[in-house]
Amino acid sequence: MIPSSIIITGPTASGKSDLALELAQKFNGEIICTDSMQVYRGMDIGTAKPTQAEQLAVPHYQIDLCNPDEHYSAGQYARDAEITLIKLGEHGKIPFLVGGSGLYYKALIYGLDEMPQIPKEIRLGVLNDWEIRGYEKCYQELETCDPELAFRLSPRDATRVQRGLEIFRTTQKKMSSFQKSKLGNQATRFPVKIFGIHRERKALYQRINQRTEAMLKIGWIDEVKSLLELYSSSLSSLNGLGYKQIIAYLNSDLNNNQLVEAIQQKTRNFAKRQLTWFRQEKSLKWFEISQREQLFQETEAFLSKYH
């Protein structure tokens, strides 16, 4: 049986991880990360992965699951996270799902439809287009046939852009339509309470700017150098937020000041996209970061119904 759970989400740098750590410590909880980038081994600083101290304070799950050159989907996440949820319930622990990847936690709590089988000729056709026509043309095609999916992706995200094109060419339906069929407003598969952490925009952007500088100071560039010794820079994982800009810096396409500004700007844009995504979740309740006590009270009230 899947236990009732608390979800803490919100835009990047909003402070949700620190708050979730505090909640988990207070309510005998453990943390399941809902972040599509923290699943990759070796990508620690740039994904703001929980530190060793944080993991010692409260156990964290769903991190370091695969190498950067391996594919990991929302469906796989849902299957793996469900196993973890059940184990936590068996040990009397409260699961706190924490992160900014809305599709991941939605796949878990609502379930996903089975994606269609892709004929070999279509898969090869999409791959050929990517190699011959280039990523920009393929991304433009995705913007036309599935603008919602394209909005969430980097044009260089080979795995996901190609997947979106494969599904549309096979079914003439958007990939987002398969995701939405079970990501609407229907009942969740188990009891959950979803809290969104909000900060005033100016304060959020200031935190993003400061965090970017801090991450670069503690070795983010060296982390990318180490990854490039093992993996190709063309991997979709290494085209993630910040990693792509650092690779450009290492290729002398950006100077140091341009690097910092580029990551900050891209992160701010990403936060805007996250907020757009979260606003689709009707059952999500927003809290200002200053409303800590009220959030704690609502957490306690929810848990008292099921535990």
Same domain, 152 and 189: no
Of 180, 198, 227, the one marking the end of a domain is: 180
Of 135, 165, 180, the one marking the end of a domain is: 180
Q: How many domains does the chain have?
A: 2
Same domain, 32 and 69: yes
Same domain, 16 and 71: yes
Q: How many CB atoms lie under 10 A from the CB of residue 22? A: 14
Same domain, 206 and 300: yes
C-alpha 36/C-alpha 73 separation (Å) is 8
Span 96-124, average pLDDT: 87
Q: How many CB atoms lie under 10 A from the CB of residue 54? A: 15
Query: pTM value?
Result: 0.82
pLDDT tens track for 32-88:
999 999 999 999 999 999 999 999 999 999 999 999 998 888 888 999 999 999 999
C-alpha 39/C-alpha 72 separation (Å) is 8
Residue 181's pLDDT is what?
47
Same domain, 167 and 193: no
Listing DSSP states for 178-221 in one string gives: HHHTTSSSSPPSS-EEEEEEE--HHHHHHHHHHHHHHHHHTTHH
Same domain, 16 and 83: yes
Structural domain containing residue 140: 120-180
Same domain, 87 and 211: yes
Asked whether the predicted pLDDT for residue 204 surpasses 50, the reply is yes
Same domain, 91 and 215: yes
Same domain, 103 and 241: yes
Same domain, 76 and 192: yes
Q: How many CB atoms lie under 10 A from the CB of residue 240? A: 20
Same domain, 176 and 195: no
Of 154, 180, 206, the one marking the end of a domain is: 180
C-alpha 151/C-alpha 142 separation (Å) is 9
Same domain, 173 and 199: no
Instruction: Tell me the H-state helices in 117-157.
Output: 120-132, 135-145, 147-152
- The token pair at 18 is 């620190």
- The token pair at 50 is 């929980």
Q: What is the DSSP letter of 29?
A: E
What CATH number is associated with residue 288? 3.40.50.300
- The token pair at 231 is 């993996």
pLDDT tens track for 209-261:
999 999 999 999 999 999 999 999 988 889 889 999 999 999 999 999 999 99
C-alpha 90/C-alpha 260 separation (Å) is 45
Lowest mean pLDDT among 146-150, 203-207, 215-219, 265-269: 146-150
Asked whether the predicted pLDDT for residue 154 surpasses 80, the reply is no
- The token pair at 123 is 């898969």
What CATH number is associated with residue 172? 1.10.20.140
Lowest mean pLDDT among 88-102, 175-189, 247-261: 175-189
